[in-house]
Amino acid sequence: MAIDVETRQVLAFYVGDRSRKSARKLWQRIPAEYRQQASFATDDWEAYKGVIPPSRHRVCAKGTGQTNMIERFNCTLRQRVSRLVRKSLSFSKSMSNHIGAIKYFICHYNQVLAASITFS
């Protein structure tokens, strides 16, 4: 998942394992302007090192607080999208249903953030 630090909006996401292939797919979904100009703070996962250009990549040590926003969003996602919690009545075995629920939540989340920024 990629989040803009200033707007807190989700820029892109990809559902998959934490392989280099998945990292590439996420990287391709990030808007070109961000890929060309933004810097990316990540944990020290090996897959990111081969995908994000070194000049744009900043590895953050655990406990620095620089990945707090994405970790908080992941918790919010798990709490609000009951489909992601195995012991809920809404749990689905279909990956496309999971992805659809995540996409729906992210669209709503981004719209609410955009509205709050506009009216502030």
> Which pTM does this prediction carry?
0.83
Q: Which amino acid is at 108?
A: H
Q: What are the residue ranges spanned by the domains of the chain? A: 2-119
pLDDT digits (tens, 9 = 90+) for 87-109: 666 667 788 888 998 999 999 99
pLDDT digits (tens, 9 = 90+) for 16-75: 998 999 999 999 999 999 999 999 999 888 999 889 999 999 998 877 888 888 889 999
